[in-house]
Structure 1
Amino acid sequence: MNKIIVLIMFLAFGKVFCQTDRYIYQTEANPDTINLVDMKVEKTFLDVSKTQTLFISESRLLRDSLRSTLKLQEKQEIKKSKKDKPDFPKLADGKSIQPTFFEYFIIKDLAGNSVNLVENVGPKQVYYQEDRKLNWEITPQTSEYKGYKIQKATVNFGGRNWTAWFSPDIKLSDGPYKFYGLPGLILKLEDDKGDYRFSFLKKVVVTNAYQEQIMPDARKSSRINFAGDKASVRMELSKNKDSQINLDQFNPGGGRGMHQRNGAMNGGFNGPPGGNGGMPNGEMGGAPNMGGMPAATSGQNTGFTNFGNTNPIELTNK
């Protein structure tokens, strides 16, 4: 257990870290609109660096940084048998890395306004650039939230009607998930069915934040062909059976399918939230400012619990 903590701390000196403004959201979702179930809750981050923003779940960031740590330490193999299965990694305060439904991250380029969704199939990244525009309707209605003046805007996207409340005082044209393009940061976001809700909690400055990136060998896809390209990569990996670090067993909950109904993309929410990965002032139990490892995609979720999500965040691919 101490070795895991030491490995995580080692990352603070790696090259994949940078100073980041982190906007933290409480994210809620209704995983099943047919059966009466509790809303799933976890924290998601909007990390803002000089050239891009990153939307990612807390747990995915924690798991990605741990994977990176093990690679840096040349840990090429983890036994998969139940007998030798390693302990689920715990943070310095005894908390465990919580499972997540967000099995992807989203990078927005501040210069070109490109939006890329990146998902892992085993050790391989597959990504696509969002090709739909957000046609916002900004209303004159204003309110106040956490000390900020906020203004209402609406948009139809992915088959849902969304209401956003943005703050003109925060000069960042961005927000959770794929949402951006308003004259200020989105602090509150909810669809009209109440299935998805993003609520800004606070901003922190993370000195050594783990920074996700699209790898040079990532498979570039399109939004329409994303599911097929992921399946193709899975087949290639199963044929090659390359030896790779596999930390799938470190995600006991897993989760899938909060992105599109046709299974093209995975993602979503899970509760309860764990530690605030990468927070200063010991908010993550004394571990350094960091992130986590990519959760497995469908076909890689052996031993995972399926939370039974039937309510994707995008209801249509149009």
Structure 2
Amino acid sequence: MKIINKMRNRILILSLLFFVTQILYSQDMKITYDMKYKEDSLSKETTTRKMLLLIHEGQSKFYTEKQYEVDSLRATGFKGFAVGDSDFYVIRNKKDITSKYYFKLRDVYKVTVSQALNWRIENQVEKKFGFACQKATLYHKGRHWEAWFTQEIPLLEGPYIFKGLPGLIVYMKDSTGSYEFSFAGLKKNFYPMDFENISPQPLEVSEDNLKKISLDYYNDPFREMKSGNVKAKVRDQKGNEIEPDFREMTKNVQSYLKKNNNPIELSDAIKYP
């Protein structure tokens, strides 16, 4: 009889958790993270960005707060010029394990990937950001991760592509200290917008094709300018228009790409020549 009662209680708790989760997913939610990371793995210098996780109609979207502000402005009908920040741009579906990555090179590219995350939930518990949290670990694409999730916010979500734990991930870092995500706030509702209303329209490519496109960009980043298809003025420090030195400009871009080649999915880092 005790075993039956325990089973009933467990089923009741799981049913309640499912019900609460469904209610939360039916609402628009905006979760803020502070992301600290190293663009160059060999440097001690770090960059910090304010990131947002938006939840809307069974989808979640992770990107910079700056890009969100630009998208919100455009959604109101604004037709002027506004500079966004399209790095770390991912859209995920709640019902499956599909992630859509967006990359900006010469054009905007979209890569759709299905991937399962093999979490290991540990026994360790701690208080973080005012929530009772439990530790989980993960190895994914070349990085070992430590995550802390709270069942006090029963969303199976987290920063970037990281989701699937029985509660919201409020803190996460990799073992090399290259990436760290820290919970910074949660609000219900945000300015309604189509998650995939991205300008310019992304070109859908495969992972292999994206690598080829990235290498092509590395080898000749100013191809469009040199061909005359893109009109752009090059100016010196005083603002005077000068004849572009494409060889020197290419060297600078290639040096930057080689140096700042420390992506979250480390095994997907482009092997530049």
- Shorter-chain TM-score range: 0.5 to 0.7
Aligned to 2:31: 23
2:164 & 2:126 partners in 1: Cα distance?
20
Aligned to 1:48: 55
What do the CA deviations read for 1:43-94 (whole angstroms, capped 9, x no partner)? 111111122100001122234445x379853x5xx7xxxxxxxxxx7xxxxx
Aligned to 1:83: none
2:72 & 2:104 partners in 1: Cα distance?
14
1:168 is displaced (CA, Å) by 1.7
**Does structure 2 conserve the Cα–Cα contact (< 8 Å) formed by 1:166 and 1:187?**
yes
> SS state of the match for residue 224, structure 1?
helix
1:202 & 1:23 partners in 2: Cα distance?
6
**Does structure 2 conserve the Cα–Cα contact (< 8 Å) formed by 1:126 and 1:230?**
no
TM-score by length of 1: 0.57
**Does structure 1 conserve the Cα–Cα contact (< 8 Å) formed by 2:97 and 2:116?**
no
TM-score by length of 2: 0.65
**Does structure 2 conserve the Cα–Cα contact (< 8 Å) formed by 1:189 and 1:198?**
yes
Aligned to 1:57: 64
**Does structure 1 conserve the Cα–Cα contact (< 8 Å) formed by 2:72 and 2:193?**
yes
2:66 & 2:202 partners in 1: Cα distance?
22
Structure 2: unaligned runs, 5 residues or longer: 1-26, 233-249
What do the CA deviations read for 1:100-146 (whole angstroms, capped 9, x no partner)? 5x524100111223111122445x53211223321111111111112
Larger radius of gyration: 2
1:119 & 1:64 partners in 2: Cα distance?
16
1:187 & 1:312 partners in 2: Cα distance?
21
Q: CA RMSD in A?
A: 3.8
Structure 1 residues 236 and 113, CA, compared in 2 at 3 Å: closer, same or farther? farther
1:149 is displaced (CA, Å) by 1.4
> SS state of the match for residue 316, structure 1?
helix
Aligned to 2:128: 145
Aligned to 1:116: 100
The amino acid across from 1:32 in the alignment is D
1:193 & 1:220 partners in 2: Cα distance?
32
Matches within 5 A, 1:145-294: 145-213=128-196, 218-229=202-213, 241=229
Paired residues in the alignment total 218
**Does structure 2 conserve the Cα–Cα contact (< 8 Å) formed by 1:24 and 1:202?**
yes
1:194 is displaced (CA, Å) by 1.5
1:184 is displaced (CA, Å) by 1.2
1:32 aligns with 2:16: no
1:30 is displaced (CA, Å) by 2.4
1:232 is displaced (CA, Å) by 8.0
> SS state of the match for residue 213, structure 1?
coil
> SS state of the match for residue 49, structure 2?
strand
Structure 1: unaligned runs, 5 residues or longer: 1-18, 79-88, 90-96, 247-298
What do the CA deviations read for 1:186-217 (whole angstroms, capped 9, x no partner)? 11000011221000011022442554316695
Structure 1 residues 121 and 20, CA, compared in 2 at 3 Å: closer, same or farther? farther
1:172 & 1:70 partners in 2: Cα distance?
29
Aligned to 1:316: 267
> SS state of the match for residue 313, structure 1?
coil
The amino acid across from 1:154 in the alignment is T
Structure 1 residues 132 and 208, CA, compared in 2 at 3 Å: closer, same or farther? closer
The farther-off stretch of 131-140 and 201-210 is: 201-210
